[in-house]
Amino acid sequence: MFTGIVTDIGELIAVDPRAQNLFRLTIACGYEPDTIDIGASIACNGVCLTAVARGKDRNRPWFAADAAAETLRVTTAGRWRPGTRINLERALKVGDELGRHIVAGHVDGLAVVTVREDQTDMARLTFRVPAGLARFIAAKGSVALDGVSLTVNEVMHDVFSVMIIPHTIEATTLRTLAAGDEVNIEVDLMARYAARLLEPS
Task: Of 108, 89, 130, 76, give the one whose Cα is nearest residue 192.
Answer: 108
Question: How many other C-beta atoms can be found within 10 angstroms of the C-beta atom of residue 150?
Answer: 24
Q: Which residues are catalytic?
A: 2, 41, 48, 50, 68, 106, 151
Threshold 0.85, pTM exceeds: yes
User: Could you give the domains of the chain?
Assistant: 8-90 (2.40.30.20), 109-198 (2.40.30.20)
Evaluate whether 5 touches 100 at the Cβ level (below 8 Å): yes
Measured between alpha carbons, how far is 42 from 65 in angstroms, rounded to an integer? 9
Per-residue model confidence as pLDDT tens for the chain (201 residues): 899 999 999 999 999 988 888 999 999 999 999 999 999 999 999 999 999 999 998 889 999 999 998 898 899 999 999 999 999 999 987 767 776 778 889 999 999 999 999 998 899 999 999 989 999 999 999 999 999 999 999 999 999 999 999 999 999 999 999 999 999 999 988 777 777 777 776
